[in-house]
Amino acid sequence: MVRANRSANRMARRAFLKGAALTGLGLAGLQVRRRAGAATGPTPVRFAGWAFEPQVVEANVKRFMEQNPDIKVQYEPLDLQLYNEKMVALFNAGTQPDAYYVRDTNLGAWVEAGWLQPIDGLPGLAELDADIFPFNLEALKYKGKQYGTPYYGDIYVYMYDRKALQRVGIPKSPVTLDQLREAALAVKKAGLAEYPILKGFKTNVDGLSEFWSMVFASGGNLFDEAMNPVYPDKDKTGLSVLEWMVQAIHDWKILDPKGLELDETQARDAFVNGQGFFTSNVGNVLPRANNPQHSKRAGDIAPTRFPGLTDVGKGPMGWTRLYCIDAKTKVRDAGWRLIYYMGGKDKTGTYYTAKDWYVKYGVGYAFKSLDKDPDMIKEHRAAGWDLDVRSQQYGAARARQNITATWYNEWDRFTQQQIQNALVKKLSPHEALTASANKARELKKQWG
Amino acid sequence: MRRTGLLLLTSFMPEQEALSVPPHWLPDHATLGNYLTFFTPSGTRSIVGRRAAENTLPGIRNSVVAACGTAALNLMLGTLAAYAFARLRFPGRRSLMFLHLGSRMVPGIALIVPLYLLIHHLGLLDNLLALVITYLTFTLPFTIWVLKSYFQAIPRDLEEAALIDGCTWLRMVVRVLLPAAAPGLVAAAMFAFMTAWNDYLFAVILTSSMAAKTAPVVVAGFATDVTTERTLMAAGGVLAVVPPLLLAFLFQRFIVQGLAAGAVKG
């Protein structure tokens, strides 16, 4: 009886072991099948950027997935204002996306932190680079390696009221600071405006852009290749430009002192709505300034070559935003295909997203060949561009040498304050720029 | 007041008029278009901000949930803690009070990365509960301070009379103590509500979709690289002001009494 029970128990144990083994095998088989399924399904790519018109990005991403059914993109728009802070939190938590937007002002710091990976040698990059404006291409690189494709890139543009200049009998647009002074004085003399030039000098993200642009347009520079300041004495261009600005406010009274209380955004909106006859601002202002739906002076605003001390055929300052791939992504190839599409060409060989952004929002593109695209030519003309001026300005624009330095933003803000001090005559232009140059040296020493 | 007036009037202006020079207060061509945009965002004539317009009303809803949740939890936890500080004598009482207060001295930006990591590990990213917990850590010390002062101002005799009359402690709290402390409770709840309502930093970092994005985060989307839609932003601002304004009007008397008591009798 006992034996029979033991035998039955043994049988039960055997049956249990057999069942467990079969279950185990079954589960393992299921896992293998699942893995095989995962391998054949679309590769997931997490993609993020600051939320500028996310519905447009979503449409472009959808189009990418239609052209690349083996990739599934999960797009997440992040806050525009605190993008850097949010991304830093994501990096620290290890939850960063596979591909994302990067501002050129953050590129150096993010590379140094080990967050981005170079894309040199990836398929199609060399061909893409050959068509990118030099200032954009420069901004995609850090310490000789390329880290991204261009999301958008633009230049600072000098613009004026074409009708006003015609009324005072000036047939040509000003391309030097002397010509700008003469034109502004003529407008002032004709009683069209007390201060014909409107600029915002309140500290702002774009607050230093005109100064940079005037220095570059004059053929000068503020920094050497090693990011050492060459102003105000070794290269006197910056000093001469600031002296011109101070005289424009105090001696010739052509530059509106009210600009000290406005930032670039406010000055832009005031100009678009009829105040001032000359100003400078980001390139994407032009399509809006000449659009009757959004501007009171539509059709009257014309861009000119950015004025410098002398006409040396140089361009203004330009900047670039990038699409980059995360250093730790496990889907590098899929990530690259996505940023090649977003910041380059689609499957049909078209710069689809770049064109889409420009047509919809006037957001600048980085590709030389698009200047010859009939659709874009139509848009440029509607925006008020002379096509030759446009090509010259974008082709000759330059990136700021120290833009990738981790200390750039601190130096930029400090320098804006020194320029304000010079404009209100608290400091002489030389003292203001010396303080700025000393700050750059100090920061470089501190941060390396 | 002038700023609120300007916000309100701007919300009824077309964008061009809001930017006109010289600026003017009263709209020449008053329009409800900015408000209607929130209901039919696809019909917007603005340059940017369509997504922000779509998300404004859901964002306000999320703000209401986060702010009400914060206020309710503040009252629940704050009342118990404040009563203990006001009535009980225990070692470290004073130090603990100052520790609570000291926690308010730490700037939010310094906490943002560790807080993000913590919320990530809790699996609460992009969740309104994460916002409520976060706001609670910032508002609870103030609530405890206000209510402690308020409870101390209520005579012990009231409590003792209720207990002698046969109330249990809990019944005494509900029937006697809390009604007597109503102004303090309302003031503390309003402060917690407003703190949660106005937050931008934590909401921006801890949320990523409309599952939890609050009104300040959404409305900030009207300011972009290309332009700022001032009139839409103003209309969004007006809508976002309505709920706290209504609450403030409803409880105006309590708020003033509550805060004054906390300030003077502390």
pLDDT score for B106: 84
Cα-based torsion angle of the residue sequence A421, A424, A425, A426 in order, rounded to the nearest 10 degrees = -50
Higher pLDDT, B49 or A75: A75
Helices B2-10, B230-250: crossing angle, 10 deg rounding: 130
CB A270 within 8 A of CB A201: no
Judgement on whether residues A311 and A209 belong to the same structural domain of the protein: yes
Q: Are residues A163 and A122 in the same domain?
A: no
Distance CA A126, CA A121 (A): 7
Given a cut of 50, whether residue A1 has pLDDT beyond it is no
Interface contact flag, B221 A80, Cβ < 8 Å: yes
Contact A92 B117 (CB under 8 A): yes
Cβ of B112 and A273 within 8 Å? no
Task: Report yes or no on B41 lying in a domain.
Answer: no
End-to-end CA distance of chain B: 30
The per-residue pLDDT for A18 is 56
Please give the sequence-ordered ranges of beta strands (E in DSSP) within A283-433, or none if there are none. Answer: 301-304, 318-325
Amino acid A188: pLDDT: 95
User: Does B50 sit within 8 Å of A89, measured CB to CB?
Assistant: no
Q: Could you tell me if B138 and B104 are in contact, meaning their C-beta atoms sit under 8 angstroms apart?
A: yes
Encode pLDDT of B15-31 as tens digits. 878 877 677 888 888 88
What separation in angstroms does the CA of B134 have from each of A19, B127, B130, B207, B219? 50, 11, 6, 12, 21
pLDDT of B93 over the 50 cut: yes
Chain A within 8 Å of B133 (Cβ-Cβ)? no
b (16+ CB within 10 A) / e for A19-40: eeeeeeeeeeeeeeeeeeeeee
Over residues B164-190, the pLDDT tens digits come to 999 998 899 888 988 998 888 998 999
Contacts of B47 in chain A (CB under 8 A): 288, 294, 361
**Is pLDDT of A370 > 80?**
yes
Size of interface A-B (CB pairs under 8 A): 83
* pLDDT for position B259: 65
Q: How far is CA A269 from CA A200, B17, B19, B49, B247, in A?
A: 11, 11, 6, 17, 36
Q: Which helix (H) or strand (E) holds A158?
A: strand A148-161
Question: Residue B116: which pLDDT band, with cuts at 50, 70 and 90?
Answer: very high
For residues A380-395, average pLDDT: 93
Q: Which of A54, A89, A274 sits opposite B21 (nearest CB)?
A: A274
CB A50 within 8 A of CB A82: no
Residue B232 forms part of a structural domain: yes
Q: Residue B201 carries which DSSP code?
A: H
Task: Determine the Cα–Cα distance for residues A270 and A295; give it in Å rounded to an integer.
Answer: 10
**Considering only A96-105, A237-246, B119-128, B171-180, which range has the smallest mean pLDDT?**
B171-180
Residue A4 lies in a domain: no
Model confidence over A178-232: pLDDT tens digits?
999 999 999 999 999 999 999 999 888 778 999 999 999 999 999 998 999 999 9
**Section A297-318 average pLDDT:** 94
A83-87, A129-133, A272-276, B59-63, range with the lowest pLDDT: A272-276
Report residue A359's pLDDT band, with 50, 70 and 90 as the boundaries: very high
Q: Are B202 and B108 in contact (CB under 8 A)?
A: yes
pLDDT recorded at residue A15: 55
Identity (one letter) of the amino acid at A338? L
SS3 content of chain A, % helix, strand, coil (to 5): 50, 15, 35
The total number of structural domains that make up chain B: 2
Q: What is the pLDDT of residue B253?
A: 76
From A211-225, A236-250, A404-418, B36-50, the region with the lowest mean pLDDT: B36-50
- For A22-47, how does the pLDDT look when each residue is reduced to its tens digit (9 = 90+)? 554 444 444 444 444 445 789 999 99
For residues B20 and B57, state if they share a domain.
Answer: no
CA–CA dist B250, B230 (Å, integer)? 30
CATH of the domain at A108: 3.40.190.10
Does any domain span residue A390? Answer: yes
Q: Are residues B27 and B79 in the same domain?
A: no
Cβ pair A335, B22 in contact under 8 A: no
pLDDT over threshold 50, residue A245 = yes
Of A77, A78, A85, the CB nearest to B112: A85
pLDDT band (50, 70, 90) for residue A14? low
Residues A183 and A141 in one domain: no
* pLDDT on residue A297: 87
d(CA A306, CA A325): 35
Q: What pLDDT sits at residue B49?
A: 74
The answer to whether the CB atoms of A93 and B116 lie below 8 A apart is yes
Query: What is the domain range of residue B177?
Result: 51-265
Angle value at C-alpha B205, between A209 and B198, nearest 5 degrees: 90
pLDDT band at A3, cuts 50/70/90?
Answer: very low
Q: Is A229 helix (H, G, I), strand (E, B) or coil?
A: strand
- Chain B CB contacts of A269 under 8 Å are 19
Of B15, B109, B225, the CB nearest to A52: B225
Lowest mean pLDDT among A77-91, A336-350, B28-42: B28-42
- Report yes or no: A160 and A193 within 8 Å, Cβ to Cβ: no
More confident residue, B146 or A70: A70
Phi/psi at A160 (5° precision) = -145, 170
Residues found in chain B: 266
Give B109's pLDDT tier (boundaries 50, 70, 90).
confident
- Does residue B39 fall inside a structural domain? no
Please count the CA atoms within 13 angstroms of the CA of B104 that sit on its side-chain side. 14
B176 within some domain: yes
Does the structure show a pLDDT above 60 at A435? yes
Residue A160 pLDDT: 96
**Is A35 within the bounds of a domain?**
no
Q: Is residue B42 domain-resident?
A: no
Mean pLDDT computed over A124-148: 95
**8 Å CB contact of B204 and A93:** no
Joined together, the tokens standing for residue A304 give 């000119």
Question: Would you state the pLDDT for residue A190?
Answer: 94
Residues A279 and A385 in one domain: no
- List CB contacts (< 8 A) between A288 and chain B: 47, 226-227
pLDDT classification of A423: cutoffs 50, 70, 90 = very high
**Which residue in the set A51, A95, A275 is minimally distant from B221, CB to CB?**
A51
What is the average pLDDT across B124-146? Answer: 93
Tokens encoding B115: 């807080």
Regarding whether A132 and A177 lie in a shared domain, the answer is no
Same-domain status, A222 and A245: yes
Which residue in the set B47, B209, B225 is minimally distant from A288, CB to CB?
A: B47
Mean pLDDT for the stretch of residues B63-81 = 95
3 state SS of B45: coil
- To the nearest whole Å, the CA of B252 is away from the closest chain A CA by 35
Mean residue pLDDT across chain B? 87
**Whether B117 and B8 share a structural domain:** no
- Give me the pLDDT at residue B97, please: 87
Distance CA A164, CA A161 (A): 5
User: How many folded domains does chain A comprise?
Assistant: 2
The verdict on a CB contact (< 8 Å) between B113 and A284 is no
State residue A386's pLDDT score: 92
User: Do B261 and B152 form a contact (C-beta atoms < 8 A)?
Assistant: no
Give domain status of residue A143, yes or no. Answer: yes
Q: In this structure, how many other beta carbons lie within 10 angstroms of the beta carbon of residue A379? A: 16
Cα A387 from Cα B109, distance rounded (Å):
47
Higher-pLDDT residue of A73 and B97 is: A73
Q: What angle do CA B104, B105, B106 make, to 5 degrees?
A: 95
Of A53, A89, A273, the CB nearest to B20: A273
Q: Give the whole-angstrom CA distance, residue B131 versus residue B202.
A: 7
- Rounded to 10°, the helix B50-87/B182-198 angle is 150
Alpha carbon of A250: minimum distance to chain B alpha carbons (Å): 24
Q: Are residues B71 and B27 both part of a single domain?
A: no
With 0.90 as the threshold, say if the pTM is over it.
no
Question: If you average pLDDT over every residue of chain A, what do you get?
Answer: 90
What pLDDT was estimated at residue B227?
75
Q: Chain A contacts of B42, Cβ < 8 Å?
A: none
- Among the listed ranges A131-145, A394-408, B207-221, B247-261, which one has the minimum average pLDDT value? B247-261
How close does chain A come to B227, measured CA to CA in Å? 8
Q: What value does the mean pLDDT take over residues A323-334? A: 97
Check whether residue B116 and residue B22 sit in a common domain.
no
Residues B24, B27, B33, B34, CA torsion sign: positive
User: Across chain A, how many H-helices and E-strands are there?
Assistant: 18, 9
Q: Measured between CA atoms, how close is B224 to chain A, in angstroms? A: 6
> Both A220 and A289 in a single domain?
yes
Q: Where are the alpha helices (DSSP H) in chain B?
A: 2-10, 15-18, 33-37, 50-87, 93-102, 108-121, 128-153, 156-164, 169-172, 178-180, 182-198, 201-206, 215-219, 230-250, 252-265
- The pLDDT of residue B76 is 94
A47 shares its domain with A97 = yes
Q: What residues in A contact B51, CB-CB < 8 Å? A: 51, 53-55, 77
- Judge if A284 and A430 occupy the same domain: yes
pLDDT over 90 percentage in chain B: 39
Classify residue A180: in a domain, yes or no: yes
For residue A255, the SS3 value is: strand
Residue A440 pLDDT > 50, yes or no?
yes
Q: Cβ contacts (< 8 Å) between B125 and chain A: which residues?
A: 95
Put simply, the answer to whether B51 touches A85 (Cβ < 8 Å) is no
A133 and A247 belong to one structural domain: no
Domain span including residue A381:
43-154+319-396
A321 vs A3: which has the higher pLDDT: A321
Residues of chain B neighbouring A52 (CB-CB closer than 8 A): 48, 224-226
Q: How far is CA B41 from the centre of its chain?
A: 27
Rounded-to-integer distance, Cα B82 and Cα B147, Å: 6
**Which class for B179: exposed (0-12), middle (13-18), buried (19 or more C-beta within 10 A)?**
exposed
Residue A72 lies in a domain: yes
> In the predicted model, what is the mean pLDDT of residues A139-167?
94
Report residue B100 as tokens: 């609570």
- Does one domain contain both A167 and A290? yes
Does the distance separating the beta carbons of B50 and A55 come in below 8 Å?
yes
- Judged by phi (left if over 0) then psi (alpha if -120 to 50, else beta), residue A445 lies in alpha
A259 shares its domain with A308: yes
Say if CB A300 and CB A232 are below 8 A apart: no
Task: State percent of chain A over pLDDT 90.
Answer: 75
Question: Crossing angle for the helix pair A429-447 and A408-423, nearest 10 degrees?
Answer: 170
Q: What is the rounded average pLDDT of the residues B94-116?
A: 86
Q: In angstroms, what separates the C-alpha of B232 from chain A's closest C-alpha?
A: 15
Binned at pLDDT 50, 70 and 90, residue A444 comes out as very high
Q: Do A269 and B19 touch (CB under 8 A)?
A: yes
The answer to whether residue B105 scores a pLDDT higher than 60 is yes
Q: ipTM value, please give it.
A: 0.76
Whole-number Å distance between alpha carbons of B214 and A425: 45
Are B253 and B228 part of one and the same domain?
A: yes
Mean pLDDT, to the nearest integer, of B242-250?
87
- Are A245 and A423 a contacting pair, CB within 8 Å? yes
